[in-house]
Amino acid sequence: MIIDGHAHLVAPESLYASLSMLRSSAGAYPNPMPVSDEALAASAASNVKIMDGVCTDANLAPAIAANHSAKPASSAVSRAAKRQRGKTGMARLVIGFGTSHSPMLVTDAPLWEERAISDHSNPELYDVEGNHCTYDELLRSGRSYESECQPEYLGQQERKIQTALDRLAADLKEARPDVVLIVGDDQHELFDSGNFPAISMFYGQTAPTHRWDAARTGNQRFLKMVSEGYMMDRRHELPCDGEFALDLIGRMIHAGIDLGASSKVSDPEKHGFGHAYGFVCKRLMASLQAPIIPILLNTYYPPNQPTPARCYAIGEALRSAIEASGLDRRVAVVASGGLSHFVTNEPLDTRVLNALRSGDGAQLCNLPEKLLKSGSSEIRNWIMVAGVFRNAPVNWAEYVPVYRTPAGTGVGVGFARW
């Protein structure tokens, strides 16, 4: 809580809005002396003046002066009372989860063959050892997954996947977050090779989605279902919490995380937010009225992909930024993407999920980068969110290894909830 520049016990309501700016400048002062809500409430009630303990940036003095107007002492008391009722007056984590976002999650099993057809010519196949290969090489190298890619078996897997998604959506709704931070990756939907940051956070008020090229070839029913499931059938405007995002950006910069930042999409006719964000909003937030904050982690494209250890450290810094914020928010954090694809790598996926179940951050930090190629690179999103929850094990996790061809191409579909 802030005491104004004249050390009065009362301060204008708008001055409280300056709290995030003041705290973000506190890094310039080695020994700040914060004043708690309780101390302010007690002082306001007894009309005692507090003269010390104020740490402000001189550059913010004009803003403070401009915001100064009378505020009843009862407001400070009421804020403390509000805290007593369960509102802490600061941001707090209420839920976290990870979810795959494969096209197979927004289409029915009979259409999964469309993805199987493209696997035969996919130039981004890597075997379970992380070696680049062609489809034919993969087919000759190991066991056949003929039985796993039969329609009846795939239909059973579809039902398991949708049940897990329903469970995630219900858990998220029950948690009642005020804002949902989505950690995803961009695949030339918003960024391109002209500028591709290792990590970036969006602090605009709305995030326009990227529209799929209408000229795409293939099964039109499949393409329609995928574009709608990803909210890429047209330009959607996803509500965002720019105020909270801006607060987090400042805190993470002070913590040594040099992340990129943007507040708008310069050319929404050509660029926008992609499937990692639209999928979460459409499938898991349909009954939840909450804004998002898109966080874009470059999992996919060399040469500036963060290492697994760096992803985890960024997650830890994000948690610290959330917990230090004075903005009253119930916060959810989501990892969107993964697990292994375009070759289903059960040993890798099992290793990741076992580490999440046991809260073994060191295991995640030491994952070989050689295994995080192509679509499997999105496991980095999960590692970052695991860093947010540090060494806390997940409450539950579900894994469905989907093989859509005899060669073993497919996706390790994963879900987890902290």
- pLDDT tens digits along 215-256: 566 788 999 999 999 999 999 999 999 999 999 999 999 999
> What pLDDT score was predicted for residue 79?
34
pLDDT at 7 > cutoff 90: no
In the three-class reduction of DSSP (H, G, I as helix; E, B as strand; rest coil), residue 29 is classed as: coil
Question: What's the rounded Cα separation, in Å, for the pair 304 and 259?
Answer: 12
Question: What's the rounded Cα separation, in Å, for the pair 19 and 33?
Answer: 14
Q: What is the mean pLDDT of residues 290-301?
A: 97
Domain 92-417 belongs to what topology? Protocatechuate 4,5-dioxygenase; Chain B (3.40.830)
pLDDT at 56 > cutoff 60: no
> What pLDDT score was predicted for residue 203?
98
> What pLDDT score was predicted for residue 282?
97
- Identify the bridge partners of residue 295 per DSSP, sorted by sequence position: 183, 201
pLDDT at 51 > cutoff 70: no
> What are the Cα distances from residue 111, in Å, to 108, 160, 337?
6, 17, 20
- Ramachandran category for residue 130: left, alpha or beta (phi over 0 → left; psi -120 to 50 → alpha): left
Question: pLDDT tens digits, residue range 67-86?
Answer: 333 333 333 333 333 333 34
CB distance 275 to 213 below 8 Å: no
Question: pLDDT tens digits, residue range 354-410?
Answer: 999 999 999 999 999 999 999 999 999 999 999 999 999 999 999 999 999 999 999
- SS3 for 349-379, per residue? HHHHHHHHHHCCHHHHHCCCHHHCCHHHHHH
Question: pLDDT tens digits, residue range 334-367?
Answer: 999 999 999 999 999 999 999 999 999 999 999 9
CA atoms within 13 A on the CB side of 322: 25
* β-strand pairing of 330-336 with 132-133: unpaired
Which helix H or strand E contains 416, and what residues bound it?
Answer: strand 409-417
Question: pLDDT tens digits, residue range 126-174?
Answer: 999 999 999 999 999 988 999 999 999 999 999 999 999 999 999 999 9
Query: Taking all residues of the chain, what is their mean pLDDT, rounded to a whole number?
Result: 83
> What pLDDT score was predicted for residue 89?
72
> What pLDDT score was predicted for residue 48?
29
- Identify the bridge partners of residue 416 per DSSP, sorted by sequence position: 98, 397
C-alpha triplet 354, 360, 364: angle, nearest 5°: 80
CB distance 177 to 290 below 8 Å: yes
In the three-class reduction of DSSP (H, G, I as helix; E, B as strand; rest coil), residue 260 is classed as: strand
Question: Is the pTM here over 0.85, yes or no?
Answer: no
> What pLDDT score was predicted for residue 277?
97
> What pLDDT score was predicted for residue 184?
97
pLDDT at 118 > cutoff 50: yes
Question: What's the rounded Cα separation, in Å, for the pair 236 and 220?
Answer: 21
Contacts of 53 (CB under 8 A, 6+ apart): 3, 33, 34, 35
Phi and psi (nearest 5°) for 273? -80, 140
Burial group, residue 309, by CB count within 10 angstroms (0-12, 13-18, 19+)? middle
> What pLDDT score was predicted for residue 216?
67
Percent of the chain with pLDDT over 70: 78
What the block records as the tokens of 249 is: 């950006």
Question: pLDDT tens digits, residue range 171-213?
Answer: 999 999 999 999 999 998 999 889 999 999 999 999 999 998 7
Domain boundaries, the chain: 13-84, 92-417
Q: What is the DSSP string of 287-322?
A: T----EEEEEE--SSTT-PPPHHHHHHHHHHHHHHH
> What pLDDT score was predicted for residue 143?
87
Query: Within 10 Å of residue 415's Cβ, how many Cβ atoms?
Result: 24
C-alpha triplet 300, 304, 307: angle, nearest 5°: 80
> What pLDDT score was predicted for residue 214?
58
Query: Within 10 Å of residue 417's Cβ, how many Cβ atoms?
Result: 19
> What pLDDT score was predicted for residue 218?
76
Which residue from 402, 338, 410, 401 is spatially nearest to 367, judged by alpha carbons?
338
Peptide bond between residue 165 and the one before it cis (omega within 30 degrees of 0):
no
